[in-house]
Amino acid sequence: MTGGKQKNNYGSISRDVDTITCDNQLNSPLLRLPGEIRNRVYEYVFSGSETVVNYLYRNRWPHSKKSTPVHVLATCRQIHHEASSIFWDACIINAYFVNGLVDVEVAMRTSKCARITSLVVNENVAWEMSHPSPTAETPYILQMLPMLRKLYVQRAYAFDTIEDIVEILSGIAAEGFEVEYRPSGTVRTFEYGQHSQILWY
């Protein structure tokens, strides 16, 4: 008896979801557009945006009330399905506030790390990336970030000389990544910039 009710409930939920999906396709101005145009809209929204991973200090700043790229993914299942790959390909993940390579993986979760193509880290994390374990067959950074193409290293005043920074960047670039150093930018730029946001976990 109970099992039958559960099956009926699941069937009802499935029908409700299907109905909502159909309604969205009929009534949403975005979803009524051809797929090619929707993809261009997603690319416009996500291109150049930065999603800030606020892991260790998650209560330090209020939630952003501004509409953000991650909110686009949360609009509905269809948009999430269509736009996710474009988001990960175009959006820069800013993990400046995370102070360890393992913590980046904890904050982002393994499945999300595997999709990151552009990443901002501070000098502490960059140092870890440039000093892989000599016993590991594959460097941890390659295991954790298999899709990473570009790494931005944001100055955290962890090192005193330009030689230290050059050594770190060279070590990371040797793994095949494009590396950009941000010596004078401020954290505030990432937090409140035109295309930035806070991603909460």
> Which regions of the chain does DSSP assign to beta strands (E)?
50-53, 92-94, 118-122, 150-154, 178-182, 196-199
**pTM for the complete prediction?**
0.72
In terms of domains, do 27 and 108 share one? no
Range of the domain at 8: 1-32
Distance of alpha carbon 146 from alpha carbon 116, whole angstroms: 8
For residue 144, pLDDT over 80 is answered with yes
Which pLDDT does position 88 carry in this prediction?
Answer: 94
In terms of domains, do 42 and 66 share one? yes
In terms of domains, do 93 and 146 share one? yes
Convert the pLDDT of each residue in 27-75 to its tens digit.
788 888 999 999 999 999 998 888 888 665 444 433 343 446 788 888 8
In terms of domains, do 20 and 61 share one? no
Which pLDDT does position 23 carry in this prediction?
Answer: 72
Residue 74 has a CB neighbour count (10 Å cut-off) of: 10
Report the number of distinct structural domains present in the chain: 2
In terms of domains, do 163 and 190 share one? yes
In terms of domains, do 1 and 14 share one? yes
Which pLDDT does position 196 carry in this prediction?
Answer: 38
Higher pLDDT, 165 or 125: 125
**Least confident piece of the model among 92-106, 151-165, 182-196:** 182-196
In terms of domains, do 194 and 118 share one? yes
Say how far residue 20 (Cα) sits from the centre of its chain.
28
In terms of domains, do 9 and 68 share one? no
In terms of domains, do 83 and 93 share one? yes
What mean pLDDT is predicted for residues 106-121?
A: 90
For residue 195, pLDDT over 70 is answered with no
In terms of domains, do 68 and 15 share one? no
In terms of domains, do 101 and 146 share one? yes
For residue 17, pLDDT over 60 is answered with yes
In terms of domains, do 83 and 111 share one? yes
